[in-house]
Structure 1
Amino acid sequence: MAAGITIQAPELQARIAAILRKAGSSTEEAEAVAANLVLANLSGHDSHGVGMVPRYVDAVLEGGLKPNTSARVTLDTGALLALDGQRGYGQVVGVQAMELAITRAKDVGSCVMALGQAHHLGRIGHFAEMAVAQGLVSIHFVNVLSRPVVAPWHGGDGRFGTNPCCIGVPLQAREPFVLDFATSRVAQGKMRVAHNAGKRAEPGTLIDEDGRPTTDPGVVVVPQPKGGFGALMTFGEHKGYGLAVACELLGGALTGGGTWHRPADQARSVYNGMLAIVIDPQRLGTADTFTREALEFVDWLQKSPPGPGTDGVLLAGDPERKAREERRRDGIAIDAATWGEIGAAAAKVGLPAA
């Protein structure tokens, strides 16, 4: 197996783009998807980074992921937009959908955008960052159509996906607030990364295929002795479970993308539905109060003395910004198993392993 490496972002992006081109993407699409994946690694979210490429290649070869496919508008009534991702790369159709929603929010003050049937959207925080960069607030509810890996509260097996929720809020002359989290205790991809690196999960994160607590991340990554899989737990007990269900109902049912309610299969494709609400504070008429109150509240938070054993108060988005600075300087570390999987994916499309 190939050795683990530490690689600079531009070189990694070039290698990933080459694989995606050989898998059928145009140069423009391959560069866009590769840049998005590498940004996830830079942000400290290796679960949504280049380790997804082997799955994407498999999904293309299976026919479930359609390279060079754009989002199609199915409804446009002004402040309401509905789009069909047509199983194109989520990093492409998701950006297309958000660009339309952002433009519409600037035009009329707000936009409710429903995107269904996008292949894996990747890090949802990317779409919130698009909005806050334009001075807009955005709220995202997302569901996951793939092998169900998260157990309902008091349930003993996987019934739905990691169903992320994300909220982006611009802060004038400050770095924005970008809250982006899976409604499972950890993202599924983090368990893949932990399994590949030979690490254990935190107690209370997982159940095995018999519904018993375990710290083995492999239970949601590889088939278990009885042929099944374990499951992730939701965060916050019944509260996180409730939010996960809301993401399924809003991101899946309301968008038209669909919900998961069937036995698992072995397909490698991952589909997302996303309901996004984008608001222009200027058009809402509260911009001055919003700016003042938001900054005063953030300052109030950050004046709290550091708790014992901590470095002090952080805001959502701070860890990602710190990780980007460090990883752009020091490089991105990729474990041996993940690097080997990327090499195998390259071989599948006719490229030599890295």
Structure 2
Amino acid sequence: MPTVAHHKLRDWITAFLRHAHVPEADASLIAGVRVEAALRDPLGFDGFAARSLVHVVERLGAGGLNARPNIRVEHEDGPFAVIDGDGGIGQLVGVRAMEHCLQHVASHGIALVGVRRSSTLGGLAYYAMMALAQEYIGFAATNTELRIGMPPWGGVTPTLGNNPFAIAIPVEEGRPVVMDMSLTATEPQGSDAGAMAHRQALLSSGNVARPVMGGHKGYALAVVLEILCGVLTGAGFGLAHAHQQVGSFATPPDLGHLVAAVDVQRLIPLSLFKARVHTLNQQIKASARAPGVEDIFLPGELEFERHDVRLQSGIPVTDDAMLTVQALAESLRVQLDV
């Protein structure tokens, strides 16, 4: 599989967004978040990632996304806030929401920010991991459009998104513990959103999930996260995100997010917390291995290893992703440095 340097992929994405009238600084930030996801993802920059980029560009052109959003705090009460994303690109809105969240943790020990009128965030780990710089525990969650939808347990009508969430935990030594997962093991491939294909749904443990929807546990989590990210924040929820409701790319998606950060020291001394997490991690890593298993990985460990390797060797780009990127460049008359 061909690879592309991380800085080159960032330049490509930035160029596409700039062509769609996104300001330079915002375009670079959004591209950086997308590249970080590709550095961690098992497939690198695949067809799904490429198509989602095309959708962003098309939505910007159709008016369904705002290239220059006025992201503002709509309501605030102590450590709690609701942010209006003004139809902006999700990566930009998500970063601004977590930045606001982190500004308030020192005063209150915890902060929780809900977001409405936003769009797809992409990989959730980035936002949760923003809290690690201040040695806080970070949390991020979102609902999604029903292009990646699941029916309720026992039903057949897609009613819920795959509603991913992430938690990042600081540690004493080694890599932070970072869980980042969606609630379905499959996602749409190709132009038919109903055609589901197994996409190596690797959980942070490294185990491959079965090619099914979320199961009864994934369904239960999806319901709760739909309430927290959609209902609680005032964003769209459930069937409001069905394809027949969203319609064309001219319709703003109105997704909802929830981000939070916790100052561990309000509960336990940070050094003691880290030492206890380290002890737990050692116990887990020391577990007797099942036949054929060479190592036991903590949540996020594989992603960090993959990230470091790809910074040096490049990000894998699947054939369908490259074709999609080249087609987008031709349609926009954007010259790519390949």
Match of 2:17 among 16, 20, 39: 20
1:50-69 correspondence to structure 2 within 5 Å: 50-69=50-69
Instruction: Give the SS at the match of 1:81.
Output: strand
Taking the aligned partners of 1:258 and 1:344, their CA distance within structure 2 comes to 32
Instruction: Give the SS at the match of 2:144.
Output: strand
Instruction: Give the SS at the match of 2:142.
Output: strand
- RMSD (CA atoms): 2.7
Instruction: Give 1:159's aligned residue.
Output: 159
1:31-50 correspondence to structure 2 within 5 Å: 31-44=28-41, 46=45, 49-50=49-50
Q: For the Cα contact (< 8 Å) 1:22–1:350, is it kept in 2?
A: no
260-269 vs 128-137, greater mean Cα deviation:
260-269
Percent identical across equivalent pairs?
26
Taking the aligned partners of 1:133 and 1:272, their CA distance within structure 2 comes to 27
Instruction: Give 1:30's aligned residue.
Output: 27
Match of 1:264 among 220, 223, 243: 243
Instruction: Give 1:250's aligned residue.
Output: 228
Instruction: Give 2:315's aligned residue.
Output: 332
Deviation of 1:133 (Å) = 2.4
Taking the aligned partners of 1:60 and 1:41, their CA distance within structure 2 comes to 22
Taking the aligned partners of 1:203 and 1:121, their CA distance within structure 2 comes to 20
State the Cα deviation string for residues 9-47 of structure 1 (Å, max 9, x = none).
Answer: 111211221111001111111111111111111112546
Taking the aligned partners of 2:165 and 2:253, their CA distance within structure 1 comes to 17
Deviation of 1:271 (Å) = 4.6
Instruction: Give 2:205's aligned residue.
Output: none
The AA in structure 2 aligned to 1:21 is R
Normalising by structure 1, we get a TM-score of 0.82
For the structure 1 residues 61 and 202, does the alpha-carbon distance in structure 2 shift closer, same or farther, using more than 3 Å as the test? closer
Q: For the Cα contact (< 8 Å) 1:79–1:108, is it kept in 2?
A: yes
Q: For the Cα contact (< 8 Å) 2:172–2:271, is it kept in 1?
A: no
Taking the aligned partners of 1:160 and 1:117, their CA distance within structure 2 comes to 18
Q: For the Cα contact (< 8 Å) 1:57–1:345, is it kept in 2?
A: no
1:1-354 correspondence to structure 2 within 5 Å: 5-44=2-41, 46=45, 49-147=49-147, 149-186=149-186, 188=187, 191-192=188-189, 201=198, 233-234=213-214, 237-262=215-240, 263-265=242-244, 266-268=247-249, 270-352=253-335
Deviation of 1:119 (Å) = 1.6
For the structure 1 residues 333 and 148, does the alpha-carbon distance in structure 2 shift closer, same or farther, using more than 3 Å as the test? closer
Q: For the Cα contact (< 8 Å) 1:146–1:271, is it kept in 2?
A: no
State the Cα deviation string for residues 232-252 of structure 1 (Å, max 9, x = none).
Answer: 611xx2111100111100011
Deviation of 1:203 (Å) = 11
For the structure 1 residues 303 and 80, does the alpha-carbon distance in structure 2 shift closer, same or farther, using more than 3 Å as the test? same
Deviation of 1:148 (Å) = 5.4
Taking the aligned partners of 1:255 and 1:166, their CA distance within structure 2 comes to 18
For the structure 1 residues 158 and 329, does the alpha-carbon distance in structure 2 shift closer, same or farther, using more than 3 Å as the test? same
Deviation of 1:290 (Å) = 2.0
**Structure 1: which 5+ runs fail to align?**
205-213, 216-231
Instruction: Give the SS at the match of 1:138.
Output: strand
